[in-house]
Amino acid sequence: MQTTEPVAGRSPVARNPLLKAACVAAGLILLGFGIVGFFVPGLPGTPLLLVAAWLFSMSNERLHRWTTTNKWFGRAVADYHAGLGIRRRVKAISVAAVIVVVSYSVLVALDALWLRSLVAGLGLYGIYFILTRPTRERVEAV
């Protein structure tokens, strides 16, 4: 099983203060958008949190630990980084949300054909991406 231990001590980013600061800043921005993504349809919350956690793993152990142990989203981030995949329920909700938001955008909100096609294509790719990630099966307590 893979570990979710941060690599900050071994990373070339950790040796360069400018890169370290840039990773922390980018991670904080993505963390903010990721949290907002849980409340705004169409904004992907979990992928942004995963990238933020990855950036923190190279630059700030405290923020990395916080993103992987947070009571609301830490389990999903830690499971994904450990290679355990995405829970089936989360996959179903994610795919349903993509279908609803993309359908509304394509059928109601957008006028330009090229933009409709772009949004539909991105939505299909998003669904493909979600469905091709490993599925975490529920582990029953013994």
Confidence class of residue 8 from pLDDT cuts 50, 70 and 90? very low
| pLDDT over 70, % of the chain | 84
Where b means 16+ CB within 10 Å and e means fewer, 28-52 reads eebbebbbebeeeeeebbbbbbbbb
Residue 25: the pLDDT is 93
* pLDDT tens, residue by residue, 86-118: 778 878 877 888 888 888 888 888 888 898 898
* pLDDT tens, residue by residue, 36-62: 877 776 677 777 888 898 889 888 889
- The pair of structure tokens assigned to 92 is 């179903």
